[in-house]
Structure 1
Amino acid sequence: MRKKTVRRKTNPVRKSKKKAAVFSGNFLRYSIAAVLVVLLAAIGYHYRGGLAYYFGFKSDKILTEENQSKRISDVRNFQVLQKHEGKSIGIDVSEYQGKINWSYVDTLEKKYPLHYVFIRATVGKDRKDRKFQQNWLGAKENKMIRGAYHYYRPNENSLEQAELFIQTVTLKKGDLPPVLDIEKLPKNQSVANLKIGLKRWLKAVESHYGVKPIIYTGERYYDDFLKEEFSDYLFWIANYNFYREEIGDDWLFWQFTEKATVPGIKGKVDVNIYNGDLQQLQFIAVE
């Protein structure tokens, strides 16, 4: 007898699905790459002014890792300055800047005049800035509008801190109002008690000089702790974030970078924008 031949059924190989899977994977990768290219192009277009300036005008500089990092901040700084044409530009300094050759402190990037400078005078209840007197006199001789600030220590007596500032700083006609610099939270007291101390400092200093002080702080600190209860005061806000390019409507000053270079000063310097022009800045000065 003949044996029946049994043919096994085999499932057909569907190559189309495999091709589709490969196609979808490539499509996803290409889509992500395309989005990144568009994003980079958009960023480049947005910062075209700063990029053209710094990769053209400063192309003779050696591209060390430090210079490359600096150029990123330089591009953003240039972009910010471009957006604030006509606003008054200034700096703030302390002993950390070392010896300053004030006769050279005149412009930023050879284009933007520096009209004013805030100078650290005191720290806490017992420390004077080692370069305050030199900087205070140097700024005056350089015909810059000057202002003095106190770095507040939350865990020290507020009235003793105010007294140290008063003993150290003599304001004259044309100087800017005194500044209270508050950046940290207390370790051994509540935030409510901190606010009481800040108000005592502010009132003592205002009573002595006859002018309302300005408060310096970071944007988050301002929003979280000071904005509501200290609304009677004008604020100088620090924000170095890359996405922030314009001064807040309710900010008197904006410290937009801590990585600028200025003639006459070694190392990096903070730069500030006043929310007005030079004439308006002179209007808030001590009479």
Structure 2
Amino acid sequence: MIAKDLRDILVYSLIATLLALIVDYVFYFIGNLQSQTSILAWGFLRMYSPTVAVLVLCGPSTLKKYLRINGRVAITYLAAPFITFAALSIYLAILIVTGNFTLSQITSLLAVSSIDFPAFMALTFFNAYIISLTLNAIFALGEEIGWRGYLLDKFQSTGMSLVKASILVGAIWGIWHASAIILLGHNYPDNRLAGVLLFTIYTISATLPHVLVRRISSSVLPAASLHGSINAVWGLTIITTELPREIAGLGPIAYTSWITISIILYSVLLMGKVHEMHRQDHG
């Protein structure tokens, strides 16, 4: 049984990665990532390759168990983006403490938009929250059905712990981006080969929160809103420091932020379990 699960994991990962590579190569070949429309088309096609891989292996009927909707799912879905906001707050705190926080790039934006900094931040987070729950979540769902749905279940069916499964899912999630980084400069336009390793570490560091919201809700929908919020707001990490992204927003400072929030969330979950067991023992 374990051998079959491992074989399924390998086959699934290869199919999802190959489909993403095909999408990347087509857009690389035609050189058409210049307009917002082409970027959206590329993103949508690429982000749904993990779902297509699930459909190839399991058929459409298997999607139902990943898309449960109930009150707990709805609450977790609405709350999940705040995990990203918390991770971003930790990131900004690290920049401030280390003397690497700057508003110079934001100030130049404010100069042409005639709004002050507090209003800018309020609008940024409000807009990020709304788009996290709507358009970005729709896009991210294509990945989450694969990563925090099918792939996570397969790893856990081998008897692997939640944390170990999260690390491996995160590694595959990162490697899946390799062709986009190398061919198209996705996230790392200046250091593409190093970017593959750096981004894989990033996805590993950010995976446990996705896994936990899926675990809490028994649905991948909250993981989609969490993933969507990263895509909506994490760009602020680039414009709040003069450090290169390879060190800051997509490097060690980002890893530290996500690992910190992961430890906090996991600890809260464990304390909740201990409290529940204690309550049942004395109930």
Which TM-score band applies after superposition, normalised by the shorter structure? under 0.3
Instruction: Point out the structure with the larger strand share.
Output: 1
TM-score by length of 2: 0.21
Higher gyration radius (CA): 1
Instruction: Point out the structure with the larger helix share.
Output: 2
